[in-house]
Structure 1
């Protein structure tokens, strides 16, 4: 038996050969078969080569979920470069920091999206940023952007490079070559780039798809953003290795989601519990035809047992699963199985998927080991050594328990990170941002429960003597410098914060006060 392709270019060749005219992407009026997706990827790859993109380069992408993202990521891989996804909620300073650290010379970027011209913001924020090629993903009716290449112009740019040269580049890509660098904030407050290679990510995608029973007959509505592992790796790449049809949704809107489920006969729906809960509770659900749904996968937050029961009972899902992973583990790790009970699915993160081992450290910390764990952090060997021990175990920072069946449940966090709407939020980053606000003496940020988002931020602020800071001042400062999901929902002013003998803020005490 021949082994499956170990690079995404070869996986795309295999998908086009196996599935041909079957649908690969359904994005509004744009319909791409697997053969057409291969053609689109090759044209974009030729354009990237024409613009000087080399094997091993880093290519940024700052855009919402559309068919362009699918082509862009696969074309980046096709030329042997690593994709660097940027959170669409980033402000320009955050995006510029990531792009400068990876030395990106090329950037796929959305035109005006959600009322923001990101390229103009980026150029104003960081005029020294060395982006040689900006490829603008279009918004309907938008005028051409100066000193940038419009998506529609890629075919003309590609004329300078032959198809044979693009295929030769694709075939030269190694399973050991980096496929992506996803950034995840650390406890120091500064994001860290996670290095993952082609062979690693494809092995994980196949294992996840097997657990989720994903196959070529499925229509996969991908609501989680492509810049996140849940959208990119458990969405695009699992579809690539199974032949499932990708149905991207740029912005979650529950009415539009329900319309897409009906119109596209969606069978697979993934995302944090918020998405599933919103559909269940929406008044228009009674009139919506959601009968095509087959598989739901959720995670990244606490999952109530009743949610699992309602997904099975009210939406008639055959398969409902929860899963666990970290960016450092390639986005994957553990997963429930279709036959598991509602209690197991709600109260555990499942057992290891193929290729992973797990155990608990003496302090209860969850450790994962796999060939699919990251190569390390970008330009940070010290942090890499602190995270992956000499025996290859990834220290997740999560405290967990493992039952006699090998099912794992996260019970606490060694660090202070909380999850808001499926996104990891690191208090240290917010606290550092707050420290730059004039009038702030000290701050502490914790996550507090929220019915819709899972958790939201609360910041405790100690004013400097004589300062007259208001709640509005604090929130305005945060909104200017932080992505929306990081902005605290609540502000409480204190005369002092509780500290331990070592001078560390007793966040557990702050949480217990609010319990």
Structure 2
């Protein structure tokens, strides 16, 4: 697929190229933005706002502490295990300014997952929330982590409110199990010490690693994607190009319900929003819908970044439907497939169309997106600026337009490789810079790309390829369906049989017969499920993506147990 094919697919005014070398490193971006937008709000959480000037001052304090009170050197890894709190950008940007490599760590990780990530990355320091302190206490002695900094939820709030909120979290809600980590330090004490010294901004090369971002691990052991300063700056500029016609600089409020430690939210809120000088409304716990909606009611939000399951949950909430959406200009979806029915309902309720994109940890993450000026539901849009896509067959041969195969991406946002995993890197990244995504897709004549499914999730029924996304899209059109998932399970006659799992909306009913009849009306015979199971909930990742693999593993265990 040559570059000329894509150039005339972009709407008028949308840049086809960005300059990934516009900034030498993230430090330069941060300094310029924080000076330019010094008085503008940058992050709001729990009723408090930090300006860009505040972010630069506090991140400087953290960097100065790292440089003057620890043995940490540029290039060393620091694990950051925080939810969406004001502390997150301060710690992350402070670490980057000191030249450290950030290892984003999910606060919901088990001790096994933490130990693997800390040891695999070679992390020497950890910043964690007190709520996870008991887990860190168990894990740290088995790793190379020597410096531990702990913060509580409300540590950046004014003194009285800080005491009240932290006390409620610890003693009333009992969300902070007792722990003792020898020599652990408090973040506020660290910042106070750092404020007495001057930070020296490190000056890493563009190709130096800035973030070691671990993949979800739902298809095996989590691997660290090495994302360089250039990778993240490129994706920041690519995201900015997409939004330029729709969002103004320094005057927008973007809702951030997805965790900043996830690459999707990290790049969007900590990078793209920084260069535009806009405010990020951090939602600490998006699963607590009543609290989230209460927060939304206080702000005139103009942008919203989410994913399918969150859109569905919000649209089903009467209090959300009663919010004022008149300022809302833009809604971005990623992280999982956006169902057309969910997108249409969101638009009906909020008046804003959803702009769906596609990406992965390995692409920093945005690879393609629907231009805001020309959204085509059911597709992942066109490649972002300076990015090429192609479709290949099982033998690696490029396929013509309209044919289905594996999607490959090439651009300045594609990772350097997997950390200390040369063979794994070679499997997905070739010498020319093409990344194999593992997603089955096709490129339409108009340049828009349509994802068919994950390669590893494909179900093979009597030799026919069946894609779970298609089945789930059909099931989602049933008014009573809240959530759904489709998997393949072993079958003697057909190789695999389709099983679907359904969560019914509260107060509504649905039968297996109704589900099968609906599928028969909308799908070819071999795509109709043989098995239907109703559940109260489905397993999901921390960002709400349904884990088909977990469902499949459960079924295989049941089958194995029955056979024995």
The TM tier, using the shorter chain, reads 0.7 to 0.9
The structure 2 residue matched to 1:321, chosen from 347, 355, 363, is: 355
Task: Please say if 1:31 is aligned against 2:57.
Answer: no
- 1:64-213 maps to which residues of 2 (within 5 A)? 64-112=83-131, 118-125=132-139, 127-139=141-153, 140-141=166-167, 146=181, 147-158=183-194, 162-163=197-198, 166-167=199-200, 169-170=201-202, 172-185=203-216, 189-212=220-243, 213=246
Partner of 2:8: none
- What residue in structure 1 maps to residue 303 of structure 2? 268
Give me the whole-angstrom Cα distance separating, in 2, the residues matched to 1:26 and 1:188: 35
- 1:353 corresponds in structure 2 to 384
Deviation at 1:496, TM superposition (A): 8.7
Residue 59 of structure 1 and its aligned partner are, at CA, apart by 0.7
CA distance in 2, matches of 1:457, 1:67: 39
Judge which range, 94-103 or 253-262, deviates more.
253-262
| Cα gap change, 1:150 to 1:397, in 2 (>3 Å) | same
Match of 2:253 in 1: 219
- Measured after TM superposition, the shift of residue 453 of structure 1 is 5.3
Aligned mate of 2:76, from 57, 62, 68: 57
Please say if residues 93 and 126 of structure 1, whose CA atoms lie closer than 8 Å, have aligned partners that are also in contact.
Answer: no
CA contact (8 A) 1:178 1:195 kept: yes
Task: Tell me how far 1:126 sits from its aligned partner.
Answer: 5.2
The answer to whether 1:249 aligns with 2:268 is no
Which residue of 333, 339, 345 maps to 1:310?
Answer: 345
1:362 matched to 2:393? The reply is: yes
Q: 1:125 Cα shift?
A: 4.2
Shift of 1:272: 0.9
Task: Note the 1:259-408 alignment, pairs <5 A.
Answer: 259-317=294-352, 319-341=353-375, 344=376, 346-363=377-394, 364-408=405-449
Distance across 1 between alignment mates of 2:150 and 2:213:
21
RMSD between superposed Cα atoms in Å: 3.1
In structure 2, distance between residues paired with 1:238 and 1:191: 26
d(CA) in 1 for partners of 2:285 and 2:195? 34
In structure 1, list runs of 5 or more residues that go unmatched.
Answer: 113-117, 419-445, 461-478, 499-515
Structure 1 residues 185 and 333 mapped into 2: Cα distance closer, same or farther (>3 Å)?
Answer: same
Aligned equivalent of 2:38, options 13, 16, 20:
20
Contact 2:62/2:94 (8 A) holds in 1: yes
* Alignment correspondent of 2:265: 231
Q: TM-score, normalised by structure 2?
A: 0.71
Q: State how far apart, in whole Å, the 2-side matches of 1:327 and 1:133 are.
A: 27
Shift of 1:52: 2.2
TM-score, scaled relative to structure 1: 0.78
**Partner SS for 1:191:** coil
Deviations, residues 269-290 of structure 1 (Å, cap 9, x unaligned): 1111111122212122343333
- Matching residue of 1:464: none
Taking a change above 3 Å as real, the CA distance of residues 138 and 186 of structure 1, as seen in their structure-2 partners, is closer
Q: 1:58 to 1:216 in 2, by over 3 A?
A: same
Q: SS at 1:348's partner residue?
A: coil
Q: Which moved more, 1:391-400 or 1:300-309?
A: 300-309
What is the alpha-carbon distance in structure 2 between the residues aligned to residue 187 and residue 280 of structure 1? 28
- Paired positions, count: 438
Matching residue of 1:427:
none
SS in structure 1 opposite 2:223?
strand
SS across alignment from 1:296? strand
Q: Deviations over 1:320-361 (max 9, x none)?
A: 2000001111111000011224xx2x2100000012100111
Change over 3 Å in CA distance of 1:496–1:408 after alignment to 2:
farther
